Structure 1
Amino acid sequence: MRDIKAFAEGRRNDAGGLLREADGWARAMAGALGELEEERLAGTDPSEVVRAEVSGTGRLRGLSIDPRRLRDLDGDRLARAVLEAIGAAHLAMEERLAQTVQDVTGQAPGVADAEGAADPLDGHIRDVLRGG
């Protein structure tokens, strides 16, 4: 983080240090994302009729519907329940990804450091979390 802070403050004289630090972060993040791909995170709709599971990188891995409560839903309500469950699972994935970023960088996305300076990579991290 030392080289990235210096670079963000306009001290661009050590681009090599910045690149080494960024490469280390990239390697650590790639390893962490590989591990996340194996994780399963779940979410349900508010009525808990539908349960969705996604990988730690957001890929839908499973979808289950409680057959005992299915008759309480018409087609439109079932569709909304499926979308809500998938959304809840993706929210769990985003929280897990944010924790991974914090573990790798030592700083939570969007949180200022001890000196009150925002993370210079915050915009990029937010794009990743949004899937952009």
Structure 2
Amino acid sequence: MSNTNQPHHGRNFKRMREILGIKQEAVALELGEDWDQKKVSRLEEKEIIPDDLMDQIAKILKVPAEAIKNFDEEKTINFISNTFHDSLNGSAVASTLYNCTFNPIDKLVEVYDALLKEKDEKAAILQRLLDEKR
């Protein structure tokens, strides 16, 4: 009988793979010629995945091995639902996700000035070419 507190590595791997949109065939291809889709499917049924294989899987998914081993979908959903809610009309989410370190209007003015300078330089070059032809 399995311990319910013990994370199920195979199920966690499957869920993480699905979240990332990676197919079993792609994982099999990355694991090597000994692997195919059916073997990856059987791996996802295993409660414990050996560390060396878990490290390979983590590298393929581009996540830490510990993230797969300790993934808890219920805790993740609770975290998201408790962190990102629209009770403040999205302002809490916006301030959490985007922390602007510059004044956007200053950047627009800076870009506009650079474009004007470039335009003036090109106009001067064209004028010089026209003067040379005369």
For the superposition of Structure 1 and Structure 2, which TM-score range results when normalised by the shorter chain?
under 0.3
If the length of structure 1 is used for normalisation, what is the TM-score?
0.25
Q: Which has the larger radius of gyration?
A: 2
More strand by share: 1
